[in-house]
Structure 1
Amino acid sequence: MTGINFHGIWAIYRFEMARTLRTLWQSIVTPVITTSLYFIVFGGAIGSRIDSIGSVNYGSFLVPGLIMLSLLTQSIANASIGIYFPKFTGTIFELLSAPISALELVVGYVGAAATKSIVIGLIILATSALFVPLRIDHPAAMLAFLVLTSVTFSMFGFIIGIWAKGFEQLNIVPALLVTPLTFLGGAFYSIDMLPQPWRTVSLFNPVVYLISGFRWAFFGKGDVDIAWSLGFTGVFLALCLGLIVAIFRTGYRLKS
């Protein structure tokens, strides 16, 4: 039984991180400016009318939602573009014929995408501290959610990158599904504020559970029980793993 090819994983990871570092300034400035605008618009316009939500200052309440919005979109975008380019240029065949397993290939690409997302999430957290008072009741849980969400949605992005036949398709799922679900998933409000039946309808939005769990790590409270948040994240992670296994076993859009 052969061991894990750490050199292969590191080569892919280093290549992807080098591609990221070429746009490092843009990667840092964009989330800082975006976060600042969110606080100016939402914190100023809505915060002046909503003093607090569940004893939490509204500006502080926004932070987990802003970070989660960035995590989901960045994780998907980074991973999908990372694996799509080898398909587009034809170098995917060199990767598939190299002495590296499917698992090692996925770890390299997903690891790099998740790393960038985590860094951006931490940058947004630091930027937020300049605008609002922050408290993190469960720092270990916050970091765990940060890493787990980044890895899970980087895997989802990896699947999208393999599925996409063109650059247009790379943006379909994030633009038409993930971003709307995030905005409707309690990123900027509590679903407890919604009247029935919309509150019940919101519980069918999977992003609600991600944001609620992440917000619980900050303030010790969320819209749904923390066990449901962890359970959903685990189920989605397992589903992504299963799909990736099926893709490499069948060669779906990899060998043709």
Structure 2
Amino acid sequence: MNRYAIRAIYLFELSRAWRTLLQSIATPVISTSLYFVVFGSAIGSSMSQIHGIGYAAFIVPGLIMMMLLTESITNASFGIYMPRYSGTIYEVLSAPVSHVEILVGYVGAAATKSIILGLLILVTARIFVDYRIEHPVWMALFLILTAVTFCLFGFIIGIWADGWEKLQIVPSLIVTPLAFLGGSFYSIEMLPSFWQKVALLNPVVYLISGFRWSFYGVADVNPAVSLGMTCGFLAICLALVGWIFKTGYRLKS
């Protein structure tokens, strides 16, 4: 394992986040904080508790997970798309660096940024609402696993995209709506029976449900199922990335 190559790619990608601190860190934290103000304070004050949890506290895991999904995809897709766009990816591919090392460098940096953002929002949420974390180890596991999985997904999107428009299609038109419909602001048990079954077709439901369970011990879906779904999606992403490197799809042409 070439640790120097991994470190070089990893630090280069992280340095880009520090150079654009306002866009990379401050903007997601501020925009998510506005959700706490609007939904937690304004709307939450007029809503009853959900599963015995105040509404403002109930939406904390959902908001963190919603931000984590979108930022993980955006960070990873932009991180690999820029070298393709500028042509510097060929220098990386021709260097004595294995595909695994390239993947660890890019995805590791993107996941680190996403996890830092998630923790910052978790801390910021304390300003607006009082919440508890019953299973901190499981919370950290879901946070890291989700960040790595969706950074891999973003890595795939960054290789698939052949223009800036395509780079934004999946996060803005698919992932964000799925996050809104995945129980970020409500429990799917509040839906009619038919729509509960439809909601279970949304993979984001399992991520949010498992993450919320780590906070309050309540979930719409069995936490073991949520963990299994996340690991399954991780395996699919790893298989796709392996195929991309094996065939050179949009990397060598």
TM-score, reference length from structure 1: 0.97
SS at match of 2:105: helix
User: 2:236 & 2:224 partners in 1: Cα distance?
Assistant: 18
User: 2:119 & 2:136 partners in 1: Cα distance?
Assistant: 12
User: 2:32 & 2:74 partners in 1: Cα distance?
Assistant: 18
Match of 1:103 in 2: 100
User: 2:73 & 2:147 partners in 1: Cα distance?
Assistant: 9
How well do the aligned residues superpose, as a CA RMSD in angstroms?
0.9
SS at match of 1:143: helix
Q: Does 1:17 align with 2:43?
A: no
User: 2:43 & 2:200 partners in 1: Cα distance?
Assistant: 24
1:134 pairs with 131, 136, 140, which one? 131
2:146 pairs with 138, 144, 149, which one? 149
User: 2:143 & 2:33 partners in 1: Cα distance?
Assistant: 21
Overall identity of the aligned pairs, in %: 64
1:224 pairs with 221, 230, 233, which one? 221
Q: Deviations over 1:35-69 (max 9, x none)?
A: 22112211234212313100011111111011001
- Measured after TM superposition, the shift of residue 198 of structure 1 is 0.7
Gaps of 5+ in 1: none
Maintained 8 Å contact 1:31/1:123: no
User: 1:193 & 1:240 partners in 2: Cα distance?
Assistant: 32
Maintained 8 Å contact 2:77/2:167: yes
Q: Which amino acid letter does the alignment assign opposite residue 134 of structure 1?
A: Y
Q: Which amino acid letter does the alignment assign opposite residue 62 of structure 1?
A: I
User: 1:114 & 1:31 partners in 2: Cα distance?
Assistant: 15
User: 1:32 & 1:88 partners in 2: Cα distance?
Assistant: 28
SS at match of 1:76: helix
Maintained 8 Å contact 2:75/2:154: yes
SS at match of 1:106: helix
1:124 pairs with 121, 125, 128, which one? 121
Maintained 8 Å contact 2:33/2:121: no
Gaps of 5+ in 2: none
Number of residue equivalences: 253
